């Protein structure tokens, strides 16, 4: 028997061969063509042009099953969740089905299932500018316009004025988009694992406001909370309610986002049946000793996983995503001189040119660091920012073209 892995990530971020070694099964990896030669240790590797959109991924999976029977299908990335579910259903395999995948991918379906039991902002699926116009007439501004299946705040727009609506009206066709009322306040993320239909690990963190306002090039800062902070238990309880209402898979990593408003309300934003991006997974690993994607992969293949008995972290952790600026990068950090920096992943090199940030996670690089308490974490964040400001240097570029993504 074989395990089919749908994988959009580079080899430096995923270690399926190591994670699934004890299964003793054949590992088949489907990946974008530009990564095809980066996985020589796998039994079969197939590269695909236009990987994210290509139906050949599913067709070749069905054909390959005739020669090498597939027992499990793994998919860790948002773009693979739905088609992995389609393959499972066609082959009669266990794991997340299509109804579950749609509920976790389509934000309108998601909120329609939740809105009677979980506070949600007003929302509307869009087809044309007329639905958008009617929504604004009823609910007012500001609003957020975004893809129904988006991720990482890509193609997400916060609209404050009637003038800012005009490009959407001119576009006319808005199929695949949605609009919802803007919710003021702090955005929290809740990450963890469901194993054997039980919530087994919960991590709570918060963003600065650069997640939605990434065009301001301020840099996204994400820090994890200690369970003793009062908001932690409230956010965990709402997340548990969301997981219970939605058709949640037996085993899954998850990434949930919830607003905390100035008048102390919790308002649901969205949830995904996959591990959070922006190196949140590394923050969780530092704090709890669990690699979410590894645990999720093992659980999905019937392998044993050791998980913490409590949600008390070993340390507090955070990640700062160094923002891109318009222009040419002329000075970059090779490594940080701080022993509390646990991971540094640069994504650009001197000489590369950028138009600025195109999404929240579209960055120069990421820095994960740890501390003993929130006071120390804040102090180290400030020290990190000062060092980055001094050593990451940009020069104007007359004709900027995107690079380093």
CATH number, domain containing residue 146: 3.30.1490.20
The reported pLDDT for the residue numbered 219 is 86
Strand, helix or coil for residue 403:
coil
* DSSP β-ladder status, 326-331 and 353-355: antiparallel
Task: Name the token pair of 151.
Answer: 């991720």
Q: Residue-wise over 100-136: b if at least 16 C-beta within 10 A, else e?
A: bbbbbbbbbbbbeebeeebebbebbbbeebebbeebb
Q: Are residues 214 and 161 in the same domain?
A: no
The reported pLDDT for the residue numbered 401 is 43
Is residue 128 a part of any domain in this protein?
A: yes
| 158-164: long-range contacts, CB 8 A cutoff, minimum separation 24 | 158/182, 158/212, 158/213
Q: How far apart are CA 179 and CA 93, in angstroms?
A: 36
* 8 Å CB contact between 107 and 145: no
Q: Are residues 258 and 369 in the same domain?
A: yes
Backbone angles phi, psi at 161, to 5 degrees: -130, 165
The domain tally of the chain equals: 3
Is residue 164 a part of any domain in this protein?
A: yes
Q: Are residues 157 and 246 in the same domain?
A: no
Is residue 55 a part of any domain in this protein?
A: yes
Rounded percentage of the chain residues whose pLDDT exceeds 90 = 88
What are 42-74's pLDDT values in tens digits? Answer: 999 999 999 999 999 999 999 999 999 999 999
Q: How far apart are CA 196 and CA 349, in angstroms?
A: 44
Q: How far apart are CA 350 and CA 391, in angstroms?
A: 11
CATH number at residue 371: 3.30.470.20
Q: Are residues 41 and 149 in the same domain?
A: no
Distance between first and last Cα of the chain: 37
- Its domain, for residue 390, covers 186-395
Q: Are residues 255 and 390 in the same domain?
A: yes
What are 349-374's pLDDT values in tens digits? Answer: 999 999 887 776 779 999 999 999 99
Q: Are residues 196 and 273 in the same domain?
A: yes
The reported pLDDT for the residue numbered 397 is 75
Is residue 106 a part of any domain in this protein?
A: no
Q: Are residues 201 and 166 in the same domain?
A: no
- Which band of pLDDT confidence, cut at 50, 70 and 90, is reported for residue 398? low
Residue 220 CA, chain-centre distance (Å), reads: 13
Q: Are residues 213 and 326 in the same domain?
A: yes
265 pLDDT higher than 50: yes
Q: Are residues 202 and 229 in the same domain?
A: yes
Is residue 194 a part of any domain in this protein?
A: yes
Q: How far apart are CA 128 and CA 122, in angstroms?
A: 18
198 pLDDT higher than 60: yes
Q: Are residues 240 and 344 in the same domain?
A: yes
The CA–CA distances, whole Å, from 271 to 135, 241, 366, 381 equal 23, 12, 23, 27
């Amino acid at each position: 028997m074989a395990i089919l892995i749908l994988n959009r990530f580079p080899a430096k971020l995923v270690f399926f061969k190591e994670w699934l070694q004890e299964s003793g099964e054949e590992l088949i990896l489907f990946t974008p063509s530009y990564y095809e030669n980066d996985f020589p240790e796998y039994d079969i590797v197939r590269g695909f042009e236009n990987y994210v959109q290509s139906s050949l991924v599913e067709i070749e999976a069905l054909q390959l099953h005739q020669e090498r029977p597939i027992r499990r299908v793994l998919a860790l990335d948002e773009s693979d969740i739905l088609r992995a579910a389609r393959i499972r259903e066609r082959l009669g395999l266990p794991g997340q089905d299509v109804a579950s995948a749609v509920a976790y991918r389509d934000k309108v379906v998601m909120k329609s299932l939740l809105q009677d039991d979980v506070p949600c902002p007003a929302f509307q699926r869009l087809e044309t500018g007329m639905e958008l116009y009617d929504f604004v007439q009823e609910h007012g501004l500001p609003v957020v316009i975004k893809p129904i299946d988006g991720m990482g705040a890509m193609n997400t727009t916060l609209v404050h004025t009637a003038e800012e609506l005009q490009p959407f009206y001119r576009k006319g066709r808005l199929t695949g988009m949605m609009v919802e009322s803007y919710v003021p306040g702090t955005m929290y993320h809740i990450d963890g694992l469901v194993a054997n239909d039980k919530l087994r690990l919960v991590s709570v963190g918060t963003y600065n406001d650069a997640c939605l306002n990434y065009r301001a090039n301020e840099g996204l800062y994400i820090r994890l909370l200690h369970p003793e902070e009062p908001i932690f238990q409230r956010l965990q309880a709402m997340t548990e309610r969301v997981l219970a209402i939605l058709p949640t898979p037996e085993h899954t990593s998850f990434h949930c986002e919830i607003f905390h408003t100035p008048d102390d309300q919790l308002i649901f934003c969205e949830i995904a049946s996959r591990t959070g991006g922006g190196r949140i997974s590394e923050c969780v690993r530092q704090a709890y000793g669990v690699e979410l994607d590894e645990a999720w992969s093992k659980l999905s293949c019937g392998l044993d996983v050791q998980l913490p008995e409590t949600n008390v972290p070993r340390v507090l952790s955070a990640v700062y995503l160094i923002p891109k600026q318009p222009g040419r990068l002329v000075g970059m950090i090779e490594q940080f001189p701080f022993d509390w920096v646990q991971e540094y992943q640069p994504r650009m090199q001197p000489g590369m040119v950028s138009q600025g940030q195109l999404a929240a996670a579209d960055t120069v690089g990421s820095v994960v660091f740890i501390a003993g308490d929130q006071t120390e974490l804040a102090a180290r964040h400030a020290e990190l920012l000062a060092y980055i400001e001094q050593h990451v240097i940009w020069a104007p570029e007359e004709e900027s073209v995107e690079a380093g993504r």
